[in-house]
Chains A and B, each alone.
Chain A
Amino acid sequence: MSDVALAAPSDAATAIATRGVVRDFTAGQQTIRVLHGIDLDIRAGELTYLVGESGSGKTTLISIMCGILWPTEGEVRLFGTDIYKLSDNELVDFRLRNVGFIFQQYNLIPAIDAASNAAVPLIAQGVGRGEARARAIELLAALNIADQADKLPSQLSGGQQQRVAIARALVHQPRLIVCDEPTAALDARSGRRVMDLLREVALADDRSVIIVTHDNRIFDLADRILVLEDGRVTHDGRDMPKDH
């Protein structure tokens, strides 16, 4: 299985390649097509924004790109691996090694402290608790909350919890980081700070970061902005289109 995961990508700089990705949802009798054939190449070393109106399919697309939602049609290559051709367990393992998640509600485990929460991906990989925590604490330090390492999530502020969630997404050095609406709950300044932070600690030459956001206050921080309208990419560039 590891030879599948490590297969050389066709284009070394391409992190994600989607070809003809279609996704239908069936609600009761009727089937709705949410994504209408998405062809995208996301490069490594870039911070990509995925924007669009509510219901345009952003969450659906990012879920398919990171390997947690099967497309109805089409293929997704992550660092050269055709991920939906993997078996279920291989795909889970692929995510564990290659994808870092930042969830909107953080979804930290309330009963374990910040360092252990940040260490979860390493622990799931089988790294010993002590070493996993040590590596997590290094990241917490980079995020300026090393002094909160022993606190439970309930003892942390919202912003601190988010930093723990960011640390958890980065601790195992995945090659793809995905975030859905990371700043939605934050005020403008905090939102900017989180984005700055992500640029600083998450972005690297061999890693790409995709962020779903509504937040037009921070559009200037992206390397690339993709606009989704009714399940189609209608804009692709460094800046937002004028009419947005």
Chain B
Amino acid sequence: MVWIAIRMLTGDATKFYGLLFGIAFSTLLITQQLTIFVNLIERGASGVYNVPSADVWVMDPVSRTTDVNLPMPSTALDRVRSVPGVEWAVPHLRAAASVRTKEGDLEGVSVIGVDDATLIGLPRRMTSGSTNVLERPDAVVIDDVGTTRFFPEGYDPVGERLELNDQRAVIMGVADAVPSFTSQVTLYTRYSRALNFVPGTRNRLSFVLVGAAPNIDAKILATRITEATGLRARTRDEFARDGIDFIIENTGIPLNFGITVMLGFLVGVAIVGLTFSLFIRDNIKQFGALKAIGVNNAKIRRMVAAQAAMVGSIGYGLGVLGTVAFIWSFSSNPTFKGFYIPWQVPLISLAAVTLILTLTGWIALRNVLKTEPAAVFR
């Protein structure tokens, strides 16, 4: 009977495609929006992801994220270094500055000062130039997505001069970095140079980055550092999470995306529910005849379930493919750099599709089950 059910469904091309469209559209909207959402909020942790070698981030107790921080006195570095279990500790400066471009525009940038000796804090991979370019006194490395904000697409900025807080800076390399949440331009330079670029208060040490000694757990080390120094210490994972939570708590993004995902779901319910009900209504006489002939309700249920499963699997597949195509076609767009589909997202949209079809199939099925077999003689 299942193949008859499938034929009944595919035989009515308009409704079949309508159902597929409804499911595919819902899947696409839900999957795509959730994907963008996850990738966007993960950028709240970009500062952490860009320094994967740091096991523990040490900061002033009031600092919350890589971008919301209160600098510490430079003595903090030595205090952290003296904690047992700290393999290495390096200074890390993060500050806002402004750049005057050649055209005369003023742009806000973030300046990151990385350890002079080890260059820890600089993204590992460079798309242009090498990490040792920072040895030149006024050299800065720009992040790749930031480049697109300053220069036309495809332009190699190496050698370009910038006026960074009224100081001369020369771009000597381009780093392959995870873009920040605001996709603000990031300029990396050595810590000692950064102190010059970013004038200001006595305290300018934003973070101390710590590498844990072998066989000590980062979490334990973080607790130990806090106890010994009174500073806040977060493991890499915790601090990444802090950055993401900050975005979730302080922006309308979860609400906005939540609304879109909900709309995707509702549109799915509406299109699929309506089409499914119409389909069942059109076939109600046939279903009635089947019931009179001797097809029991369990088999009828199985038929409608097979129809729902067919529409669901194809529509869902199309929707996920659509999302993949979307992410893929925008992969060269700097805004979408590094976007990926977390495995949980297709599962969530699968659950949504299942819910849509269960709901609408159940409503449509009720009419069939209610049909008296005696109605066939009317």
Contact = CB atoms under 8 A, between A and B. Distances in A.
A50 B373 CA distance: 20
B293 A124 contact: yes
A111 B7 contact: yes
B294 A121 contact: yes
A29 B108 CA distance: 80
A62 interface: yes
Interface in A49-73: 59, 62-63, 68-69
Given A68-B373, A111-B8, A96 B295 contact: yes
Interface in A87-112: 88-89, 92-97, 99, 101, 103-105, 107-112
A121 B294 CA distance: 8
Contacts, number: 84
A97 B1 contact: no
Contact of A63 (B12, B289, B296, B374): B374
B376 interface: yes
A123 interface: yes
A107 B11 contact: no
Contacts of B286: 107-110
Given A62-B377, A111-B11, A112-B4, A105 B285 contact: yes
A107 B377 contact: no
Contacts of A89: 296, 298
A99 B294 contact: yes
Contacts of A129: 3
B298 to A, nearest CB: 8
B10 interface: yes
A69 B9 CA distance: 29
Given A111-B8, A124-B1, A124-B290, A92 B376 contact: no
A120 B7 contact: no
A111 B14 CA distance: 13
Contacts of A109: 4, 7-8, 283, 286
B293 A180 contact: no
Contact of B378 (A59, A92, A111, A121): A59
A215 B147 CA distance: 89
Nearest to B289: A107
B285 to A, nearest CB: 5
B10 A111 contact: yes
Contact of A96 (B8, B11, B293, B376): B293
A128 to B, nearest CB: 11
Q: How large is the interface on A (under 10, 10 to 19, 20 to 34, 35 or more residues)?
A: 20 to 34
A123 B293 contact: no
A103 B289 contact: yes
A69 B294 contact: no
A116 interface: yes
Interface residues of B, number: 29
A103 B4 contact: no
A95 B378 CA distance: 19
Nearest to B376: A103
B377 A103 contact: yes
Contacts of B3: 129
B299 interface: yes
A221 to B, nearest CB: 21
Contacts of A116: 4
B97 interface: no
A238 B113 CA distance: 110
B121 interface: no
Nearest to A181: B377
Interface string A147-185: 000000000000000000000100000000000100000
Given A63-B374, A68-B376, A129-B3, A101 B296 contact: no
A183 to B, nearest CB: 15
Interface in B282-337: 283, 285-286, 288-296, 298-299
Contacts of B290: 120, 124
Interface in B214-232: none
Contacts of B296: 88-89, 92-93
A108 to B, nearest CB: 8
Contacts of A99: 293-294
A93 B377 contact: no
Interface in B132-156: none
Nearest to B291: A92
A123 B1 contact: yes
B285 A124 contact: no
A124 B372 CA distance: 18
A117 to B, nearest CB: 9
Nearest to A107: B289
A84 to B, nearest CB: 13
A89 B373 CA distance: 13
14 contacts: A59-B378, A63-B377, A69-B374, A92-B294, A93-B296, A95-B293, A101-B376, A103-B377, A105-B285, A112-B11, A116-B4, A123-B1, A124-B293, A129-B3
- The 3 A-B residue pairs whose C-beta atoms are closest, nearest first, are A111-B11, A96-B294, A107-B289
Given A89-B298, A93-B296, A99-B293, 14 more contacts: A68-B374, A92-B296, A96-B293, A96-B294, A101-B289, A101-B293, A103-B376, A107-B286, A107-B288, A107-B289, A121-B293, A123-B4, A124-B295, A125-B294
